[in-house]
Amino acid sequence: MATKKINNEDQLVEEAKLLWAQGQHEMVINLAKYISENRKMNEAAADVYRLVGKWLAETRSSNSRAILEKYLKNVVNLADKHQSTDKKSVARQGQTHFQLAHYADAVFRSYEERLTSNEWQAAMRLRKHKQDRDNFLSIALEGYKRCLVIGDKYDVRVVFRLVSLWFGLSTRQIVVDGMLSTIKEVQSCKFIPLVYHIASRLGSSKDSQGPNTFQVRTLEFTGVHRISLDKASLHMEF
């Protein structure tokens, strides 16, 4: 079968997608890397970086830090740098922040599981891996927040995940700081579907002790108070 002549980079990207669908993963990754390294740093290049990062993650062809730093963060930086108010650009920004956060979150969960394994703890130096774990968690929290600020496509998935992290890791300073920042910057109406669930935490004795207790309670009260005000405002409009 004769090879179709490729005239430009966009055609190369489409060719890469086709090869990926055919299972030619190694060839696709090499082709996509070539495109990303030789393409101008513009908004369109973000799609190439996104694809490379996605494919490397799916095939586990590179380590997590390299995928984040070289590809997924570049996607976010390019999308933010060339942002505009048109729907396509806003959607692209939301997608890039969500994908970065979602990947960092998945890596964080992997680290979390390994760090709770007795066998793994005995075999590894924990301090460095805890730092890596916390770094991925921080990236995920920031990415989820930006995703909520930018658009609404991923609201349900992101809100449920953030609240899950908040409740599950409420004594960790990274989570407390991340959620306080999120509550300040994100429209609280996005959390309305979970307002009763969040409110139920105020009377809970769980996590009632520890260095972050006051901050956790403040976070819970602030979140519920803002959401309640927004909910009341919505009812008044009708």
3-state secondary structure 55-107: HHHHHCCCCHHHHHHHHHHHHHHHHHHCCCCCHHHHHHHHHHHHHHHHHHHHH
Look up residue 188 and give its two tokens: 């609280």
The CA distance from 166 to 172, in Å, is: 9
pLDDT on residue 60: 80
- What digits encode the pLDDT tens for the residues 14-58? 777 787 888 888 887 777 777 767 666 556 667 777 777 888 888
| Triad 213, 219, 222: Cα angle to 5° | 135
Q: Read off the pLDDT of residues 81-138 as tens digits, 9 standing for 90 and up.
A: 766 677 878 888 888 899 899 999 999 998 888 877 766 666 666 777 888 999 999 9
Rg (CA), the chain: 21
Tokens of 217: 């309670």
* DSSP code of residue 232: H
* pLDDT tens digits, one per residue of 146-165: 999 998 999 999 999 998 99
pLDDT at 27: 80
Report the phi/psi class of residue 84: left, alpha or beta, with left for phi > 0 and alpha for psi in -120 to 50: beta
Predicted confidence band of residue 145 (pLDDT cuts 50, 70, 90) = very high
- What pLDDT is recorded for position 238? 38
Alpha carbons 43 and 50: distance in angstroms, whole number: 11
Q: Among 21, 67, 69, 72, which residue's Cα sits nearest to residue 46?
A: 72
Q: What is the pLDDT of residue 153?
A: 92
pLDDT in tens, 188-213: 888 888 877 777 766 554 544 554 55
Q: Scan for tokens 């490397």, then name that residue.
A: 56
Predicted structure pTM score: 0.76
Please report the pLDDT score of residue 205 as a whole number.
45
**Long-range residue pairs from 196-202, CB within 8 A, at least 24 positions apart, any chain:** 197/163, 198/163, 198/223, 198/224, 198/227, 199/224, 199/228, 201/167
Beta strands in 107-199 (DSSP E): none
**Residue 3 confidence (pLDDT):** 39
Residues in the chain: 238
**pLDDT score for 6:** 38
Say which amino acid occupies 231.
Answer: K
